[in-house]
Amino acid sequence: MENQPQQTIVLMIFITLVSIVYFLGLPTVPFHPDEQTYLFMSGDVERFFAKPSQLFWNPVQSHDLRQKYRLRDAPLSRWLIGIGRQIARLPAPQVDWDWSKDWQTNRANGALPAPDLLLVGRLSVAVLFPFSLWLMFQIAQSIGGNLSGWTATILLASHALVLLHTRRAMAESGLLFCVLLTLWALNRDTERPYWLALPAALAFNAKQSVAPLAMLCWAVVCFPPSEKQLSPKQRLRHGFLFGLLFIFVTLMLNPVLWSNPWQAALAAWQERTALVDQQVTAIRSVSPELVWESYPQRMFGILAHLFFTQPATADLMNYVADTQAADRAYFAQPLHSLFRNLWGGIVWIFLSLFGFILAPVRARRLAPMQRRRVWLMVAATFVQAVGLVGMIPIPFQRYVLPLIPFQCLWAAKGVEGLVQIPILLFVSHLRKN
């Protein structure tokens, strides 16, 4: 369904106003020590232009902190923050945050970023927020209508977890945008479906936890759920080109792979696995009840974070006392904890489940293209949710962020259903009489 010009103007005005409020709130978000790490690693921008080989994987430097981060972490936000600093002409910090030391020691060591540097880092990734809202509207409208589009956009714009986690100089803003961009591209009908690799690769390089969504994109390219039948040769060609583009984007964003791609990729896998094991061991030694040992625990933990828990300003309890004043000031704004309670969570779950069930049921009466879009979104929701349950043993709230677009999408469909069902019943009653 095409937007009418008037609606497009209203939508742009709405997104602009909401984004202004969003940006004004950047300084109020409590500091997370990982923000210092992202600022610290954003210095790779300068190192790349000075001497790219500084970023290449070197087995001799296996204990180098920067190389460990390049192998562990997805690179997209690191580049965005580095570019933002370059525009603002601010240098990268030379000291990383040390989690083994207390707040005062880190401050004394220069690991607490200056307010202007922190703000620039946050703005460098938060700038994607208005584009995320636009994409959310397009996705929801494409499988429903204007009511679904507006509802999903409003839900995303006011989502307490989005307002917290995407306003930090970390990975979450880029992750949210790239997931939405991938879903938007997934809904497009094109003669060259392998170009879907570009947003899928960006999403993967924003956060590796969206690998299930990227794999679904590859499957859709090879086996499109449409009337069009592809020959085995066409499937092979599309799958190959998708893989080629995906690898190309990943290589371009990860100079650490350039010197020896295969060995560096293996080192990255080992480094990432070791990091997760270290985190699980550390959490288990202090609070074993917080580790999600089984798949049912992970499923219920993810549901709790997605629908019920208060926005988590800290992943661990190390520095809660040091950020207490900032936390109180942040949550003094009611919007920052909107619906994050038992009854709010119940409403969210009801709307999301209702929309998730209703959309496929109604899809039978839709045009083929719209029906295809509904089933693609259902498949994407299922694949990404199952992937997170399989991959995430750590109870960090921000790890559920890839599911928030689906949460808003299906809740919007639930609202649409609740509005339309009484109307349909009334019309049916009139026809009988």
Report the C-alpha gap between 288 and 316 in whole angstroms: 13
Residue 177 half-sphere exposure, CB side, CA atoms within 13 Å? Answer: 20
Which pLDDT score, from 0 to 100, does residue 289 have?
72
Which pLDDT score, from 0 to 100, does residue 424 have?
66
Residue ranges in the chain whose pLDDT is less than 50: 1
Specify whether the CB–CB gap between 413 and 355 falls below 8 A. Answer: yes
The DSSP-derived string for 26-38 is GGGSPP-HHHHHH
Which pLDDT score, from 0 to 100, does residue 107 have?
96
Which pLDDT score, from 0 to 100, does residue 318 have?
85
Which pLDDT score, from 0 to 100, does residue 1 have?
45
pLDDT digits (tens, 9 = 90+) for 183-225: 999 998 777 888 999 999 999 999 999 999 999 999 999 888 7
Report the C-alpha gap between 31 and 197 in whole angstroms: 34
- Kindly report the number of other CB atoms within 10 A of residue 377's CB atom: 25
Which pLDDT score, from 0 to 100, does residue 302 have?
94
Place of tokens 């190309």: 248
Place of tokens 């240098």: 91
How far is the CA of 128 from the CAs of 61, 156, 381, in angstroms?
35, 13, 22
Which pLDDT score, from 0 to 100, does residue 221 have?
92
3-class SS at 216?
Answer: helix
Specify whether the CB–CB gap between 416 and 355 falls below 8 A. Answer: yes
